[in-house]
């Protein structure tokens, strides 16, 4: 037995120690309860501005009642993969509702957005293909292309000309261009019409991850493609999640019947994964119905976004250019973002600091997210607490973890 082989656990521990030394160690914080945008941490109540529950549906009584009633009827687990005995009428109804909403012929459910992106790319791409992606795409898109074995080429953020150059460099190979619809850390929107036109010129396939656009953008909340008036012919592959604006869990890929038939055969993360619980499919179906019909939720959300941006502008806060519920306050160094996040926590406001490696070095930020459950007074309270950032004066804080 050799003594020279590196020990994997020791190597992992060394990497963790390096991250801790750099002040970038991640830890999950345990909350005792949640009610709307209020989070309970022991005896303290925090007003949250870091949830992706954009429409406030995660605890909507109708959605909660739907999952409870369905669980009483169908139980908890999916019990098997969709292609074994896990595909129930509840799943089929949800897929049909998602097709009607997004204007697609067919849809396929996955247990998470990560699995949806990985399954779609592994079915569409192989080592002979090229995948061109925005540099700020979600990690699941970037990893999916690499795991599919395709050549990954990245272009500068939201730079359609850069995407053109990358596609033109490999004119004779199959190509997939993939982009977020709304970028999760910056909140801005991809130039979808320009990218769609580019893909038509270059005979490439366009895939959009609309996890943060579905429910929020478009006249009927169908997402960034609806807002950009793009059809399934323009964007053949649409992925979106059910765990953000819809407040549930899971994801789907939607497109032509031929696409979904192909994914059913070759998307390994669909074939070999237990189906989502039928009760959750019922809850998501109810959330889709509410999101489509209750336009006041989007109207209120966009009103709050405008109020926050106007107030932040008056305070001189360094905001990213975003008109979505994701409103990053750009602070630069990780230490400063952590300090401001702790100061807000001490004031009863929960806003997570986003640091490298999630964002590039020097781009640390507070990722403020707004919800239809927030009120004007909540937004004003956040702005008042953020005001000291302008003068770079932070209060003396108790040790971390003491609130």
Q: What is the pTM of this model?
A: 0.93
* Phi, psi (deg, nearest 5) at residue 288: -60, -45
The edge-to-edge listing of strands for the beta sheet with 364-369 is 326-332, 364-369, 353-354
- Determine how β-strand 175-180 pairs with β-strand 38-41: unpaired
Torsion of CA 217, 218, 220, 222, to 10 degrees: -70
The edge-to-edge listing of strands for the beta sheet with 44-48 is 33-35, 38-41, 44-48, 349-350
User: Residues 33, 109, 238, CA angle at the centre, nearest 5°?
Assistant: 105
pLDDT for the residue 27: 85
Strands (E), 70-147: 106-110, 130-134
Q: Identify the residue whose tokens are 């795409």.
A: 137
* Phi, psi (deg, nearest 5) at residue 191: -75, 75
Domains of the chain (ranges, CATH numbers): 34-58+295-389 (3.90.1150.10), 75-293 (3.40.640.10)
pLDDT for the residue 33: 83
Counted residue by residue, the chain has a size of: 403
pLDDT for the residue 391: 63
pLDDT for the residue 290: 98
Separation in Å, CA 207 to CA 64, 252, 277, 296: 32, 13, 27, 30
**Tens digit of each residue's pLDDT, the chain (403 residues):** 567 888 999 999 999 999 888 888 888 888 888 888 999 998 899 999 999 999 999 999 999 999 999 999 999 999 999 999 999 999 999 999 999 999 999 999 999 999 999 999 999 999 999 999 999 999 999 999 999 999 999 999 999 999 999 999 988 899 999 999 999 999 999 999 999 999 999 999 999 999 999 999 999 999 999 999 999 999 999 999 999 999 999 999 999 999 999 999 999 999 999 999 999 999 999 999 999 999 999 999 999 999 999 999 999 999 999 999 999 999 999 999 999 999 999 999 999 999 999 999 999 999 999 999 999 999 999 999 999 876 665 555 445 444 3
Alpha-carbon distance of 106 to 322, in angstroms, equals 31
User: Residues 258, 227, 197, CA angle at the centre, nearest 5°?
Assistant: 60
The upper half-sphere exposure of residue 201, i.e. CA atoms within 13 Å in the direction of its Cβ, equals 13
Nearest to 128 by CA among 177, 170, 179: 170
């Amino acid at each position: 037995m050799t003594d020279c082989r590196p020990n994997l656990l020791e190597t992992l521990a060394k990497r963790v120690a390096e991250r801790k030394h750099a002040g970038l160690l991640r830890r999950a914080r345990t909350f005792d309860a949640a009610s709307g945008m209020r989070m309970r941490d022991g005896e303290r109540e925090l007003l949250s501005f870091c949830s992706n529950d954009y429409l406030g549906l995660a605890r909507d009584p109708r959605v909660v009642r739907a999952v409870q009633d369905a669980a009483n009827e169908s139980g908890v687990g999916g019990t098997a993969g969709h292609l074994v005995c896990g595909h129930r009428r509840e799943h089929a109804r949800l897929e049909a509702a998602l097709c009607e909403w997004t204007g697609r012929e067919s849809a396929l459910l996955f247990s998470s957005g990560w699995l949806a992106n990985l399954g779609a790319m592994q079915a569409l791409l192989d080592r002979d293909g090229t995948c061109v992606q925005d540099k700020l795409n979600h990690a699941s898109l970037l990893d999916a292309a690499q795991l599919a074995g395709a050549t990954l080429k990245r272009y500068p953020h939201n730079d359609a000309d850069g995407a053109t150059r990358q596609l033109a460099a490999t004119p004779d190979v199959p190509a997939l261009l993939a982009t977020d619809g709304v970028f999760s850390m910056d909140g801005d929107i991809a130039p979808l019409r320009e990218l769609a036109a580019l893909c038509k010129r270059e005979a490439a396939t366009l895939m959009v991850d609309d996890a943060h656009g579905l429910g929020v953008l478009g006249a009927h909340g169908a997402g960034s493609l609806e807002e950009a008036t793009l059809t399934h012919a323009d964007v053949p592959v649409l992925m979106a999640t059910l765990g953000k604006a819809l407040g549930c869990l899971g994801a789907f890929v939607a497109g032509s019947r031929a696409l979904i038939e192909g994914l059913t055969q070759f998307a390994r993360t669909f074939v070999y994964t237990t189906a989502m619980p039928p009760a959750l499919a019922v809850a998501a179906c109810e959330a889709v119905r509410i999101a489509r019909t209750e336009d006041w939720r989007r109207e209120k959300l966009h009103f709050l976004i405008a109020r926050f941006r106007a107030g932040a502008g008056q305070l001189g806060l360094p905001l990213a250019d975003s008109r979505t519920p994701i409103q990053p306050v750009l602070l630069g160094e990780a230490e400063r973002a952590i300090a401001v996040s702790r100061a807000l926590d001490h004031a009863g406001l929960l806003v997570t600091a986003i640091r490298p490696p999630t964002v590039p070095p020097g781009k640390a930020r507070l990722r403020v997210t707004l919800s239809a459950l927030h009120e004007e007074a909540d937004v004003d309270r956040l702005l008042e607490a953020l005001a000291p950032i302008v003068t770079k004066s932070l209060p003396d804080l108790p040790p971390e973890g003491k609130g």
